[in-house]
Copies of this chain bind each other. A is one copy, B any other.
């Protein structure tokens, strides 16, 4: 994992590795015998040579962070100044939340603030004004109250420990980013990031590799290689969500099927599968060797199950603190918005599940974000165009009741401001205003235009995927019969794709590794598998995504005629499609062999959720 592991590969090595990639369909046993060293050659992309001088000769272990993911994240986080400022401010924010909460709990005299206890200003006899310092307890009294509450002290110590952890993490990350900044400036020649898109950074990276080969086994580095290395874990996650391997769908007693995927659950899953000590990967790139051995699978599954249970127990133990912290943060972040702009709290966002479900393989984060942003406006309109008539009737009348009381209170207040001093009048006005606002949001606009089919088409034009059970959901309104348009995506291709730079390259390559999944799921608009189906089975029940099939249908005549894919076009098999998935995930092996020998993509136990 150190920079020393990264060595310059001779042309001969690369050629041999290229030969390994020629598709051989019976190398199942050979794969297990793969020496670990051979794989480690691909671990790090970049080689530190003294010839550049951008590290001033210091080869400390932090050079590890110079992998493509870090280079990409450095670009996405807009350079070192932004990272530095953001890290500092987040540390300050943590301190602020803790101290401000403690201050509110211990050092404020609410009796003075709420005027329930008269203030004994002896020097001002009549109508003394209460000032803010009057309501703040003096420091010694405050410290005494703080010492009196043991649990608060414990929480403060805990928070201090967490803050120290974050400080160390931030410092380590900053040192790493400082290295990357030097790399950007000296090796890539990009002093300021603001005018460089990732495309141009990537182009310079490729040019650098061509000019002076970095620590990679291959001579020629393509955009696809970089995408693969950046999106290694992400591709796995997308595939698991795509094939419903992750335990994110539940069937609740009353609510029916729901999807539960929070950032906490995602963090736990990543810890379990990719990053933790029991994970399948030994670093950000290569699988652990024992994962590839067929005999060790049972033991691995047991280890994974044990890790999941441990992780669940840890989650359960930390649950109160995490929950309290989350509530505190949410209050501080959104409470004033509730008063200032209640409508903004009802704004829709793409859920985390949607971000995984709708992601293409090998799609970078900013590309996905741009795609989803373009689809956000029509998707919001589409969602808002549906309204429950029952709820609308209820909301109309609740709004009337609340609004009429509110109107009387407001008129009284405006007529004489002394009404405001009556206790809880302001509370009532605020709460009634909230009720009215919420009720209004459920009443559909009188002049709303109802055209969900067109909106759905516009959403699909950007989003590209449609759940299978939505097919033919709007049969009545469409001008075309729903029969001959099984896939809306077929007629609404994305108007302008951002990754023009490397898509043609993907089409052209014959037997190269790491092909885009969209080009493999050939010739079928196969239905998406129901969530309760047989997940682990790799036989024939395994299907691609609806829309990916649609795209490849329109593309297949050109590239299927090349005949490089073995099977006849008319008989696409699940195994070949499967191979495409795994191929997208693990490009270091020959694609078809991988289809048979791929690791079993273990299904974590359902208990490893976010508490």
Contacts and interface: CB of A to CB of B under 8 A. Distances in A.
A410 interface: yes
Interface in A187-228: 194, 197, 199-200
Given A197-B476, A389-B78, A449-B370, A404 B85 contact: no
Given A130-B423, A199-B476, A416-B423, A336 B410 contact: yes
Interface string A396-408: 0100110111111
A413 B423 CA distance: 11
Interface centre among A194, A422, A448 (most CB of B within 10 A): A422
A414 B397 contact: no
A436 B370 CA distance: 27
A132 to B, nearest CB: 6
A127 B115 CA distance: 9
A414 B390 contact: no
A10 interface: no
A85 to B, nearest CB: 5
A420 B426 contact: yes
Interface string A18-30: 0000000000000
A328 to B, nearest CB: 9
Counting chain A residues whose Cβ lies within 8 A of the other chain, the interface size class is 35 or more
Given A397-B92, A421-B130, A423-B131, A403 B113 contact: no
A82 B131 contact: no
A415 B427 contact: yes
Copies of this chain present in the complex amount to 3
A86 B393 CA distance: 6
Contact of A422 (B90, B131, B430): B131
Given A131-B423, A422-B130, A377 B115 contact: no
B390 A82 contact: yes
Given A78-B390, A406-B336, A408-B104, A397 B113 contact: no
Contact of A373 (B93, B127, B403, B448): B448
A97 interface: yes
Given A78-B389, A332-B400, A335-B410, A423 B417 contact: yes
A390 to B, nearest CB: 5
Nearest to A380: B447
Interface centre among A104, A134, A411 (most CB of B within 10 A): A411
Given A404-B97, A414-B426, A417-B426, A447 B130 contact: no
A496 B454 CA distance: 12
Contacts of A90: 397
A100 interface: yes
A126 interface: yes
Contacts of A132: 422-425, 428
Contacts of A406: 336
B115 A397 contact: no
Contacts of A433: 336, 340
A85 B426 CA distance: 32
Interface of A: 77-79, 81-82, 85-86, 89-90, 92-93, 96-97, 100, 104, 113-116, 118, 126-127, 129-132, 134-135, 194, 197, 199-200, 331-337, 339-340, 349, 370, 372-374, 376-377, 389-390, 393-394, 397, 400-401, 403-408, 410-428, 430-431, 433, 436-437, 446-450, 476, 479, 496
29 contacts: A82-B389, A86-B393, A89-B394, A96-B404, A113-B418, A114-B418, A115-B416, A116-B129, A129-B421, A132-B423, A135-B422, A194-B389, A331-B404, A333-B400, A333-B403, A334-B407, A336-B403, A336-B406, A336-B433, A339-B414, A340-B436, A373-B447, A415-B427, A416-B427, A417-B420, A417-B421, A417-B424, A417-B427, A420-B426
